[in-house]
Amino acid sequence: MRDTLADAIGPSRTLTGPEKVGVLLLALGKQRASDLLKKFNPEELNIIVRSTEIMPTISASDLEGIVEEFEGQLGLGTPFVGRPEDVKRLVTDVITEKKSSADANDQFVAHQDIWTRLAALQDDVLQAYFNRQTPQVVAYYLDRLGSERASGILKGYAPAERNDLLNRILGLGQVTPQVIEALEGSLHEELFDVDRSSAGKHLTMAGILNNLDKADSSEALAYLANLKPKDAEAIRKMLFKFEDLMRLSAKALTVIMDGVPVERTVIALQGADSELQTKVLSALSPRARRMAEAEMQSPANVAARDIIDTRRSIVDSVLKLVAEGAIELPSEAATAL
């Protein structure tokens, strides 16, 4: 019989393996879980943390089912609710404790949880960094840092600036995951990722922005333009949309399409402009082109999301080839935002 708390939360979906591991670790408690987590390799830890992004809240009865699945016996004790943020905090706390060892797990935390790393910086470092940001960006960062840490940093601002930031924090609305990802990329670039070349950083950011909707991409690029105008301009020139295939040379397009299966080419071209269809098909080998044209005569009913995802994968391939030096983007290939 499900308990009252479980009934309030409602039935949960089937959990993945990493999610079940996270729940069991949380149920064991930090000390016992810490001993186990130290035996995990960085990739395993990475998988557990990534699973918390979509993991639902877990009730005591859900935990009981997981334990039974593992054929273990675990007393539930007091009502149990396993929240994804608790699992993530447990894993990152354990790895952070190993920071002095400078092992691979420490490198994992540095890359995986940008907000934990940001919170670990001294107030004066954060203050200096925030002084280069727009007030709205600072308000978002302060909100993410939490009330105690934010209050300490706000003491370094003049009353008028402090009041303005407090007002902005109060008025913060929902920030899209895509914009958050772009801001996290900016933090990595400016504060923590000092080893990559500027070109590599710009390509990474362009890849992120390419996958956003136009409005979200414009908003994120506007943020970055206020932080680092030169970098933002370099990123803008690397922005590439599926329709920009029209502006590539025949040689570059051939290199790109050689790595795309015919069936995915057909999906990507569904609903595309006829001129773009013709140019892409011309870049295929004679046999591949005949196959593609035959399939396009009687196109399958493909979901719009599948078309979008296929086009994005082709764009990702373009940027990867650019990074490898296999092709070059003409300056006019950048899409105006």
Specify the residue for token string 């992120």: 208
- Are residues 19 and 71 located together in one domain of the fold? yes
Across 272-291, average pLDDT: 92
Q: Which has more confidence, 209 or 161?
A: 161
Tell me, yes or no, whether 54 and 106 share the same domain: yes
Q: What was the pLDDT predicted at 309?
A: 87
Highest mean pLDDT among 7-21, 146-160, 167-181, 223-237: 146-160
The domain boundary, picked from 217, 238, 259, lies at 238
Q: Do both 249 and 232 map to the same domain? A: no
End residue of a domain, out of 238, 261, 284: 238
Residues 51 and 147 in one domain: no
pLDDT of residue 276: 93
Tell me the range of 41-50, 83-92, 190-199, 265-274 where mean pLDDT is highest: 265-274
Judge if 228 and 322 occupy the same domain. no
Residue 326 has pLDDT above 50, yes or no: yes
Query: Are 252 and 304 contained in the same domain?
Result: yes
Among 213, 238, 263, identify where a domain stops.
238
Q: What is the pTM of this model?
A: 0.39
Using one digit for the tens of pLDDT, what is the confidence trace for 144-202? 888 888 888 998 899 999 999 999 999 988 878 778 878 887 787 777 654 445 566 77
**Three-class DSSP labels, the chain:** CCCHHHHHHCCCCCCCHHHHHHHHHHHHCHHHHHHHHCCCCHHHHHHHHHHCCCCCCEEHHHHHHHHHHCCCCCCCCCCCEECHHHHHHHHHHHHHHCHHHCCHHHHHHHHHCHHHHHHHCCHHHHHHHHCCCCHHHHHHHHHHHCHHHHHHHHCCCCHHHHHHHHHHHHCCCCCCHHHHHHHHHHHHHHHHCCCCCHHHHHHHHHHHHHCCCHHHHHHHHHHHHHHCHHHHHHHHHHCCCHHHHHHCCHHHHHHHHHCCCHHHHHHHHCCCCHHHHHHHHHCCCHHHHHHHHHHHHCCCCCCHHHHHHHHHHHHHHHHHHHHHCCCCCCHHHCCCC
Q: Name which of 78-82, 106-110, 278-282 the model is least confident about.
A: 106-110
pLDDT score at 5: 39
User: Does residue 282 or residue 25 have the better pLDDT?
Assistant: 282
Region 42-68 average pLDDT = 67
Domain range for 183: 177-238
- Are 328 and 315 members of one domain? yes
Q: Are residues 60 and 149 in the same domain?
A: no
Q: Which of 74, 71, 81 has the alpha carbon at shortest distance from 28?
A: 74
Q: Are residues 36 and 127 in the same domain?
A: no
One domain for residues 53 and 125: no
Q: Quick one: pLDDT band at residue 114, thresholds 50, 70, 90? A: confident
Q: What is the CATH number of the domain that holds 291?
A: 1.10.220.30
Are 191 and 221 within one domain?
A: yes
What is the count of structural domains for the chain? 4
Give the mean pLDDT of 6-33. 64
pLDDT bucket at 206, cuts 50 / 70 / 90: confident
Whether residue 62 is found in the same domain as residue 157 = no
Inter-CA distances, 210 with 196, 334, 336, Å: 20, 11, 12
- The chain-wide mean pLDDT, for the chain, equals 74
